[in-house]
Structure 1
Amino acid sequence: MDFETVDTDTLLSGRSEWLDPELAETFSQHPLDAIETEYPHYVRSVDSPDGVERPKNNHPVFYGCYDWHSAVHSHWALLRQLRVFESHPAESEIKQRIDARFTPENIEREIEYFEANRTFERPYGWAWLLHLASELTLWDDDHADEWKSIIEPLEREIIALIESEFLSQEQPLRVGTHENSAFALHCILDYARTTSNESLESAVVETAIEFFAQDRNYPVEYEPLGWDFLSPTLTEADLMRRVYDEDEFRTWIDGFLPDITTKPYDTLLEPVHAETDPDEEVAIHLVGLNLSKAWSLAGLATTLDGHRYAEAFERSAKKHAERGLSQAFTDNYAGSHWLSSFALYLLTRNEGGIAPNAS
């Protein structure tokens, strides 16, 4: 699909009604393939010469997609598609795949791994697992109710780890990759509000204010910092628009940002040119960066309606969306195992579960 021909209001609507069955099938193709692809797989430190246990043994649910967090958000993407797309063309296959994975025995094995490895996938994978749980909470469907019941023990385990191993940290990480604290906090906050977990919501809001309330004149001109797939600047702002009321947020962002309409700060509003040279496959992160910047900019434009930056944010969101979506459906596995999730997040961001109002 040529996304450049879609008008701005439609492209940035965050609604799915304009997305046709052909595109819905496209959204499902790569996640369905990737969740079954056990190798190649990312292995962290090797602690002994005894060999590395195969991913499927440790993670009978989330073993594909190169790494655990990508497997989680690929499952999220499949579940979200079933919820938001009416009569999804791949509905039967998606349900069959998830039925085979979501069993009490498989979930128990996932929990056992976290009990022995308490910081595994902190915080990025944990954040996506809660997004997945949110999706099942939102979906009024018998399958969703059954799957929600099955994964609840893992959901509880992740919440406990978030409280003990993440919210207890003394300072945030302001990076453009998996360790970004603001992205994890916004996902956890969205989950807490979707599931009406008021104690977790309060803890996240308190942490976000402690971490970011005093940030001023952010060095936006340094971005991207490397092979980023998140903008530290925009991800932080995307979190704080969830935390503050409208007046508080406008005051905060006026102090947080330098004048982004002037050089060198206006580079924040420009999409990144993403090379997809197979010798530098990590550069595909920059495709994801354009997508995540697009959803952050679109959310900020809506929140700041009437503000001096609102129109600039909206124009920039459309440019980032067009650039990111034009490259998101690559067959290169370095991107295909995860980019569909980012594209779906952008195009369905107003279909529930993402940036819900405070409870």
Structure 2
Amino acid sequence: MHNALTPETAQHFAMIALGHVRREYPYKPGHVLAGPEHARTPSQLHPIFHGSFDWHSCVHGYWMLARLLRNFPAMEAAPSIRKLLDEMLVADKVAGECAMLAHPLERGFERPYGWGWLLKLASELKDLEGGRWFANLQPLTDIFVDRFMEFLPIATYPVRVGTHYNTAFATRLAADYAEATDDERLMALLTDTCLCWYGKDEACPAWGEPSGDDFLSSTLIEAECMRRLMPAESFPPWFDRFLPEIMAQKPETLFVPASVSDRSDGKIAHLDGLSFSRAWCWRSLAKALPETDPRRAVMEKAAADHLESALPHVAGDYMGEHWLASFAVLALEA
């Protein structure tokens, strides 16, 4: 098993995503039907992100393809990725995506998971091959920046579940966009909000992990969010308080990959994503510690165990295949 993203793996993942980002059915819509005029096909509702079973999975499928193109521009799939981006990330299709969001009842559409992924996609497109795709996407990007700016000041409490509603994951992804675009106002809001939400947390028991359909570790993604947003000198003391027993491999659940009983069940298949997201977080958090810190070896071993558990299952059933490769890339590149 490789612990890093290889050209061969990148090509494999690219072909998986190219096979589903324009696959319209099956599809799970996420919008509110305000009237009969809103009962439309996926591609009518979402001219770009109508594949990959649901809107957010399609968005992070595009992110992964852009990421792979950046890192492996000569791979066999690269021309197909460029063709996809040239055909889909165009002004009229972006306008169509924006139009659906204009209805007042769509205020909470994809909040916050899809919001974070859209900004993560935009950050990856920034400066990629001249930035033309980034510029084309900007009207849609601006909508989700505005939604973060409007929502976070009224979000009194974080959401700590291991699924799409998790606030730490979305703000963690949004921070990459804020940095890539030098959006100091957004970055300040993300930082202040997360310090308010999580700054006093300590001795996290991780007692709720894993739930039956988690694909995020609510514990580790909170730590990764704080690593990303806190000043470098402030994070280690916070992390020491938050997970004080790493050397004893406690909380134990964070070190044991989840058992996946049925990968044809879309919710249960989420648990492979949990392994990838834990591996991503463990690796990223370990790198934030001094090289001499003995916790690094424990954390890197946990990451390797979770990667080994999930990597064989990226493809095979569409319930996982339409999204898991994106999370594998996060883990392999950490």
What interval of TM-score do these two structures reach, taking the shorter chain for normalisation?
over 0.9
Residue in 2 that maps onto 1:222: 208
Q: Shift of the alpha carbon at 1:48?
A: 7.2
* Residues 264-273 or 293-302, more deviating: 264-273
Stretches of structure 2 that go unaligned for 5 or more consecutive residues are none
1:122 aligned onto 2:111: yes
Stretches of structure 1 that go unaligned for 5 or more consecutive residues are 350-359
Letter in 2 for 1:265: P
Q: Is the 8 A contact 1:291 1:320 kept in 2?
A: yes
Letter in 2 for 1:253: F
Letter in 2 for 1:179: Y
Whole-angstrom distance in 2 between the partners of 1:137 and 1:168:
29
Equivalent runs, 1:328-347 vs 2, <5 Å: 328=314, 330-347=315-332
Q: Does the C-alpha gap of structure 1 residues 198 and 46 become closer, same or farther in structure 2, counting only changes over 3 Å? A: closer
Equivalent runs, 1:15-34 vs 2, <5 Å: 16=5, 19-20=6-7, 22-34=8-20
Q: Is the 8 A contact 2:52 2:322 kept in 1?
A: yes
Query: For each residue in 1:207-251, what CA deviation from the matched residue of structure 2 results, as whole angstroms up to 9, or x when unmatched?
Result: 010000011221213311221000000000001112223442221
Instruction: Name which of 123, 140, 149 aligns with 1:134.
Output: 123
Query: For each residue in 1:268-305, what CA deviation from the matched residue of structure 2 results, as whole angstroms up to 9, or x when unmatched?
Result: 11111223342x33211011100000010001111123
Instruction: Name which of 53, 59, 76 aligns with 1:66.
Output: 53
Q: Does the C-alpha gap of structure 1 residues 45 and 78 become closer, same or farther in structure 2, counting only changes over 3 Å? A: closer
Letter in 1 for 2:197: F
Residue in 1 that maps onto 2:184: 198
Report the TM-score, using the length of structure 1 for normalisation.
Answer: 0.87
Q: Shift of the alpha carbon at 1:68?
A: 0.6
Q: Shift of the alpha carbon at 1:167?
A: 4.6
Count of matched residue positions in the alignment of Structure 1 and Structure 2: 330
Letter in 2 for 1:219: P
Q: Does the C-alpha gap of structure 1 residues 298 and 258 become closer, same or farther in structure 2, counting only changes over 3 Å? A: same
Instruction: Name which of 279, 294, 307 aligns with 1:294.
Output: 279
What is the identity percentage for the equivalent residue pairs of Structure 1 and Structure 2? 35
Query: For each residue in 1:13-35, what CA deviation from the matched residue of structure 2 results, as whole angstroms up to 9, or x when unmatched?
Result: xxx5xx13x32221111211111
Whole-angstrom distance in 1 between the partners of 2:326 and 2:225:
19
Residue in 2 that maps onto 1:357: none
User: Once superposed, what is the RMSD of the aligned Cα atoms?
Assistant: 1.9
Letter in 1 for 2:332: L
Instruction: Name which of 287, 295, 299 aligns with 1:309.
Output: 295
* Residues 246-255 or 152-161, more deviating: 246-255
Residue in 2 that maps onto 1:354: none
Instruction: Name which of 229, 247, 257 aligns with 1:271.
Output: 257
Instruction: Name which of 79, 84, 92 aligns with 2:71.
Output: 84
Residue in 1 that maps onto 2:198: 212
Q: Does the C-alpha gap of structure 1 residues 264 and 95 become closer, same or farther in structure 2, counting only changes over 3 Å? A: closer
Residue in 2 that maps onto 1:244: 230
Residue in 2 that maps onto 1:170: 156
Letter in 2 for 1:70: S
Higher RCO, Cα 8 Å, sep 6+? 1
Report the TM-score, using the length of structure 2 for normalisation.
Answer: 0.93
Residue in 1 that maps onto 2:312: 326
